[in-house]
Amino acid sequence: MGTTALDTPEISVRGLKVRYGDREVLHGISFDVRHGETVVILGGSGSGKSTLLRTLVGLQKPSEGEVWVRGLDLARASEREMDELRKKIGLSFQGGALIGSMSVGENIALPLLEHSNLAPSTVEVMVRIKLEQVGLSGFEKYMPSELSGAMRKRAAVARAIAMAPEILFFDEPSAGLAPITAAGIDNLILDLKKAY
């Protein structure tokens, strides 16, 4: 029996080790993520969760082992191949990482302006749609500093989904929030999974 595209993992990690100088942060990790799966990585502070995430999106090279995302070997991929892959990935960084000198709308529009040929009027419509999806309709003109922590995280999620990515990564999307607010962010992410 042959394999189908759905049988092939979206992400495949084999024997992954990452070192910073003499300190090994990741110790031979192996796992697969298949199409449609949601995977949560748990661990204490400093255990390597963010390092693993940075490696999965190609921002950190493995010291040893292999990382394959959508059939691309990240250790051997060209810059052009990585650029194409990153257009299919959405990433919400820990703390949101919104650009403070840009409005919320400009933050969300950034990936669309950088990686698509959409007309500015279409980008404006897309920004409004993404903000509506995360419960922030009407906040496009606000600056990140004018938002609460939970609202900044929602805006970061809107930016992560701006390009309708095939793979979404979230680095501690509800960390540091009150329990009820954190549950709201977690539910938002589950709702987005159903939409994609």
* Section 121-138 average pLDDT: 91
Please report the pLDDT score of residue 14 as a whole number: 96
Q: Give the confidence band of 185 by pLDDT, cuts at 50, 70, 90.
A: low
Q: Give the confidence band of 196 by pLDDT, cuts at 50, 70, 90.
A: low
Average pLDDT score, the chain: 85
Please report the pLDDT score of residue 179 as a whole number: 62
27 vs 194, more confident = 27
CA 148 vs. chain centroid, Å, equals 21
8 vs 189, more confident = 8
Residue type, 148: S
Q: Give the confidence band of 39 by pLDDT, cuts at 50, 70, 90.
A: confident
Please report the pLDDT score of residue 187 as a whole number: 65
Q: Provide the whole-model pTM.
A: 0.77
Query: Using one digit for the tens of pLDDT, what is the confidence trace for 49-74?
Result: 889 998 998 888 899 999 999 999 99
47: which 2 tokens?
């255990």
Query: Using one digit for the tens of pLDDT, what is the confidence trace for 139-149?
Result: 999 999 999 88
Please report the pLDDT score of residue 83 as a whole number: 87
Alpha carbon separation from 32 to 88, 109, 154 (Å, rounded): 18, 32, 28
From the number of C-beta atoms within 10 Å of its C-beta (0-12, 13-18, 19+), residue 110 rates as: middle
The Cβ of residue 151 has, within 10 Å, a number of other Cβ atoms equal to 19
* Section 148-155 average pLDDT: 85
3 vs 168, more confident = 168
